[in-house]
Structure 1
């Protein structure tokens, strides 16, 4: 999902037909297009492209046409490209950017808008397409949750040697640092019966997490490690199990506390598990700690960070629906499932969850 830098920004989705997408690929990359298929994307436009003749990548390509608002931030998109190249060079299964005929990783293209009377300017990229199935679409097991946690920690560890000035994003609405500012969007929840709990979680984050920021290890992180952005494949050693085989969507990359990255992953991965989500969260943490042990300060704040991320998803989902009423059905469905998780998580004492997780690690 495209992620606006500021909540009040309205991201204008590009308009491109499959035929136009194919023409872009042929003109910019010199490839003979065989087929073009639209891919799900919220504010951008993505297409799965296959080509005729010899091609350096057998699995096809993803044409990414960035929304007009984010296309103005070329430095951030450059950072995304460089991070993908950095991880790919170190053996991580991530997309690679394909240079265009001018040898550039991206180009700013003038595209007709939907009404065909004005133009938008959109950054266009071609990425290698990664085969696999999104984590959300396979049976969730403890083994896979453990794998995902270990993979996240390995990515964080590798990114210690990566830097880019565009990754310092003080106003990024999806950073957990932004959580106290959610209060200014609560007007979108006028008749919501949960407002008191929302304010309680925001205040807990303000009191329990923000004063500890200097105690939390920070660095470059993916920022959106969720069940839709992680690809998996059948494990050749254990065919009944899956293993991680890809990481997508670099729109949330940022310099922030590492524990925020883990909290984001935990919230998303647990919220899609209907039965006993905390045990799957414990496996994810165990996998993570098999690579990088959490510090006492990180353990202290993790519980509140998980709740805060869920709250971000819920509140900003409602706020975005007020800006884009055409997407209300999708956004409210997502928000409904997130609230069920918030009630379960916030209604369970921190010590009880941590005790269960320690037992998982000890066993």
Structure 2
């Protein structure tokens, strides 16, 4: 090969080659050529369709040579025939050949980064773009390909080649966000021919100053701001303080070529999209070139930077870049004003979380962003089950909303498809679904159906249980009716104590009391309703033996058993999809909600054929919105994400790690009485020195974590339990951050 190429160079260029070395390339073959007189770069291309682009690239380089005499750019070397690109046959294959001059110096990637280098890069690119704005080429303008940021559909397609669904969906998120936030601004963004790839292996440094720019193969007619955004992307690689370094580059660029405000406001999403392009193109190319390791060399850096981009959030980054370019940041209304306006229109009975309420602006997966630019790690909200603003949910909703949304009095396939998919997660006996819009509505319906089935009125509930805000929901929720401001226990309600331990004598005693009550009063229960792990009680699991005996006794007395899976369902506990499965019991009805629509209002009741038939004898059941096509599309998307991203397994792995780390804290601090729960449904019970419930420290830790930008809650009979039930995309690194902050708060308290 080496001898063949040497002969080829001699024949086509007339050069005597002394040395020839191949170096890495993305799609074409590149060689360092040393002749008896000079150093050169030889490029061979197998894709003949890019001939016109190669000619345009050469024309561009010749234009730069003419306009800038400092030899910052490679110079095209003509063949013997005077052309700069030639098609020929080499080793039996048609190829394109061209040669460029070699630029001396070190790449940025090889240098110790300094403020001077980064600042020099910013001004260099700005001066370069002042030149490029004066050059036009129809072939470059017409070029649509995978490295042009504006080619969104192509990037979307290639994102599908990222094999890990969990990672792929993070890329899809940023593609969607770019479409939503930047594409509508295109008319306000200046256009220009740009280099389009000022990465750390294309920029040459000499004596702490930029002295050259190479590899013009990606030149593009694009939004001008993309030039500096791409350079900022690669400068941020391997940097802890990405805002600091990218800010230096941006500030320097802006001093020479001032950006418009909308261009600066676009940078967050352009940088994110460039990372997504790189990862998507790498995945696609790796599939076609499995032995080409070069195409995936920067992937680890790209994924790490994408993670940092989620952590920083769009508001903080944009505000910082506006500051670095001299623009004023839009003043936001203070929290106090938001509260005043809210209370003007809404009742004060609607509570706010935390001593200092948060004005939220955006969210992504396990992060929420307030309007002031602060990022909050969400270790609290279990409704965005698969993650805030998940792109697959958004796509499913938009797609169906643009086609049809109606009610169940019409026939449509979405409800059948979703019902079949959802029922596949239940035992075969539970085969009928009633779709509604909230867990409260589902609980209410469950009681109504139980009464219709057996004609009984008495309901058995669990101490500290919570099942909704409707009148029926409050009547069956000890957490509500037994509150100091509650309605009290109704005569048709029987309450069982919440037992956590499998103590036979105590369990048997409570079961006998319940049986005696019904038998002595000649009554029969209509139903028993309870969560398996009681959330409002402070993530308290019911004793396994206790629950089994309650179920068998209720049934022997003629009642039905209802499992409330509103908080624990859909794989949250890690070991099983539904918490009742972990107890080896089979409910007659299951109530589900909250995570079912990932924030979209959805809920359902699942029951048996016979109970459904009993209900059918009464007045028609109808829910205006329950089971509508949009909701069903969203619900099905949630199930598919759980499956594809293996989120139940993630809940198990991360949840076990979380519990282990919390147990480590318990072993160090006496104020932690108990750590309990399963998967990512966890409670930490706090006590004082006398082992009495300590709501004060629980509230203090909750609010202190809020000040450290971590969201958790408190609950339990005495409000002394820290509760954490994050989106299932939560990571072990997120756990470490929560643990660190909890321990920090405990130490400050002590």
TM-score by length of 2: 0.42
CA separation in 1, counterparts of 2:169 and 2:76?
46
What is the aligned partner in structure 2 of residue 349 from structure 1?
A: 313
Query: Contact conserved, 1:307 with 1:346, CA < 8 A, in 2?
Result: no
Q: Which moved more, 1:301-310 or 1:33-42?
A: 33-42
Q: Distance in 1 between matches of 2:315 and 2:50?
A: 43
C-alpha distance in 2 between matches for 1:340 and 1:96: 36
Structure 2 residue aligned with 1:269, among 197, 211, 235? 235
Calculate the aligned-residue CA RMSD, in Å: 1.9
Q: Is the 8 A contact 2:107 2:201 kept in 1?
A: yes
Distance 1:40 1:191 in 2: 26
Instruction: Give the stretch that moved more between structures: 335-344 or 29-38.
Output: 29-38
Q: Which residue matches 1:279?
A: 244
Residues 274-298 of structure 1, C-alpha deviations (whole Å, 9 max, x = no match): 3312211001101111211110110
Secondary structure of the corresponding residue to residue 161 of structure 1: coil
Alignment partner of 1:108 is 2:92: no
CA contact (8 A) 1:279 1:356 kept: no
Query: Paired residue for 2:53?
Result: 76
Cα shift at 1:349: 2.7
How many corresponding residue pairs? 324
Shift of 1:190: 4.5
Alignment check: 8 A CA contact 1:201 1:304 kept: yes
1:189 maps to 162
**Mapping of 1:1-363 within 5 angstroms?**
17-52=1-36, 55=37, 58=38, 60-65=39-44, 67-69=45-47, 71-91=48-68, 92-112=71-91, 119-234=92-207, 242-271=208-237, 273-327=238-292, 329-357=293-321
Unpaired segments ≥5 residues, structure 1: 1-16, 113-118, 235-241
CA contact (8 A) 1:205 1:305 kept: yes
* Superposition deviation, residue 82 in structure 1: 0.8
Q: What is the CA-CA distance between 1:360 and the residue it aligns to? A: 5.4
Deviation at 1:313, TM superposition (A): 0.8
CA 1:330–1:96 in 2, change beyond 3 Å: closer, same or farther? closer
Distance 1:320 1:78, change over 3 A: same
Provide the secondary structure at the position in 1 that maps to 2:247.
helix
Aligned-partner Cα distance in 1 for 2:95–2:81 = 17
What is the distance in 2 between the residues matched to 1:100 and 1:186? 40
Greater radius of gyration (CA): 2
2:157 counterpart SS class: helix
- Inter-partner Cα distance in structure 2 for 1:333 and 1:41: 11
Runs of 4+ in 1 over 6 A off after TM superposition: none
Distance 1:361 1:263, change over 3 A: closer
- Higher RCO (Cα < 8 Å, 6 or more apart): 1
* In structure 1, C-alpha distance between the alignment counterparts of 2:150 and 2:294, rounded to whole Å: 26
Q: Following the alignment from structure 1 to structure 2, what is the Cα–Cα distance between the partners of residues 183 and 94?
A: 33
Q: Distance in 1 between matches of 2:168 and 2:13?
A: 51
Q: Following TM superposition, by how much is the alpha carbon of 1:308 offset from its aligned partner in structure 2, in angstroms?
A: 0.6
Calculate the TM-score normalised by the size of structure 1: 0.84
> Which region of structure 1 is more displaced relative to structure 2, 188-197 or 216-225?
188-197
Is the partner of 1:189 in helix, strand or coil?
coil
Would you say the 8 A contact 1:318–1:335 is kept in 2? no
Q: Hey, what's the Cα distance between the residues in 2 that align with 1:160 and 1:274?
A: 31
